[in-house]
């Protein structure tokens, strides 16, 4: 979808627009969402960040998904000056104007940090929000030194983009997300986050994200459907990936396959053809042997969603064919 098409859809008589989920836990699903709730979400973010009419906003993500659409909606409802560039891994390569607000995925930020000119432009953004993927420790360390505000977002298509932010830059950097004023969070019986955001969601939402909630803030532990029950020991996929990231250069995904003895077996899919070196890195990085992958499998291309997230369901299906 291009910008003109989305603006035409936004301005048509219908009170809803079509969006698609990202597909990180399965096949992307279409959803019809209310324009008035999208506008509420946009105003909440702009008010939280202090964005003013005439501020510049960079659109550098696809308009097929909620993150890109909401950049446009924020510009429309708050009177921001929209600067649109084609979605790419280097969104700042051709941008010369000062940017007050930008939304990116982690890969775009990582790529921009590698080029001196793009890095300078990235550091100059007044408010940079990052979503659509995990922020690893090395990226977090770099962003903590940024002179302006950098935020990690928490949200999903159902919440019309984010409902909470956590600071990544400066002394206020934190692992804890702070919900917007109109949002209340809690935990269900599984220890998963619940969200009550009446301005953007017509009903309270129960997620599959395991979390800790303290004093109204929350910290995400990982998705409950990303728990591997191997030999009676429950292992969180995201925690294993977190341990391995500093030690593995090639892209990889932790997944699982059914196993007659263990119930489920931990499997590492990697684009590195040297699986012996990957196995050695696993032994070095993971002290608890029950958390180590039982199989390391080379794959030419990891299964990813259209927004660059690990396609967990597809990866698991592949592992069960091994």
Whole-angstrom distance, CA of residue 82 vs CA of residue 3: 11
User: Which pair of tokens denotes residue 275?
Assistant: 């699986």
The CATH number given to 3-180 is: 3.40.50.12780
pLDDT at 25: 57
The CATH number given to 231-319 is: 3.30.300.30
pLDDT class for 24, splitting at 50, 70, 90?
low
Residue 105 near residue 61 (C-beta atoms within 8 A): yes
pLDDT class for 23, splitting at 50, 70, 90?
low
Residue 196 host element (H or E):
strand 192-196
Whole-angstrom distance, CA of residue 238 vs CA of residue 199: 31
- 3-180 and 231-319 share one CATH topology? no
Over the stretch 169-190, which tens digit does the pLDDT of each residue have? 999 999 999 999 999 999 999 9
When pLDDT is averaged across residues 301-310 and rounded to a whole number, the result is 88
- pLDDT over 80 at 28, yes or no: no
pLDDT at 138: 87
Over the stretch 141-170, which tens digit does the pLDDT of each residue have? 999 999 999 999 999 999 998 999 999 999
Residue 295 host element (H or E):
strand 295-298
Give the chain's end-to-end CA distance (angstroms, integer): 37
pLDDT at 26: 59
Write down the mean pLDDT value for the chain.
94
Question: Where do the domains of the chain lie?
Answer: 3-180, 231-319
With a pLDDT cut of 70, the percent of the chain lying above it is 98
Q: Is the dihedral of CA 294, 272, 270, 111 positive or negative?
A: positive
pLDDT at 226: 93
- pLDDT over 70 at 36, yes or no: yes
């Amino acid at each position: 979808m291009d910008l003109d098409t989305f603006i035409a859809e936004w301005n048509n008589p219908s009170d809803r627009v079509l969006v698609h989920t990202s597909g990180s836990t399965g096949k992307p699903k279409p959803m019809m969402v209310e324009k008035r709730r999208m506008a509420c979400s946009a105003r909440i973010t702009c008010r939280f960040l202090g964005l003013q009419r005439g501020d510049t906003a960079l659109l550098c993500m696809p308009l097929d998904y909620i993150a890109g659409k909401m950049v446009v909606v924020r510009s429309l409802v708050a009177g921001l000056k929209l600067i649109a560039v084609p979605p790419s891994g280097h969104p700042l390569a051709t941008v010369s104007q000062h940017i007050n607000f930008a939304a990116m995925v982690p890969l775009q930020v990582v790529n921009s940090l590698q080029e001196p000119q793009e890095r300078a432009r990235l550091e100059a953004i007044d408010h940079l929000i990052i979503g659509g993927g995990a922020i690893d420790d090395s990226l977090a360390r770099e962003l903590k030194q940024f002179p302006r505000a950098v935020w990690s977002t928490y949200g999903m298509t159902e919440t019309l983009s984010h409902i909470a932010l956590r600071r990544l830059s400066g002394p206020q950097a934190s692992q804890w997300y702070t919900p917007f004023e109109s949002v209340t969070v809690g935990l269900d019986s599984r220890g998963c986050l619940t969200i009550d955001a009446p301005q953007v969601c017509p009903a309270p939402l129960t997620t599959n994200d395991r979390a800790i909630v303290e004093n109204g803030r929350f910290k995400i532990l990982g998705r409950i459907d990303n728990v591997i029950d191997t030999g009676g020991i429950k292992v969180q996929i995201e925690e294993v990936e977190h341990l391995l990231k500093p030690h593995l250069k090639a892209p990889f995904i932790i997944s699982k396959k059914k196993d007659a003895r263990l119930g489920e077996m931990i499997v590492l899919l990697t684009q590195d053809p040297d699986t012996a070196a990957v196995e050695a890195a696993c032994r070095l990085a993971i002290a608890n042997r029950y958390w180590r992958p039982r199989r390391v499998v080379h794959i030419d291309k990891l299964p990813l969603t259209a927004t660059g997230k690990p396609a967990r369901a597809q990866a698991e299906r592949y592992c069960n064919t091994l």
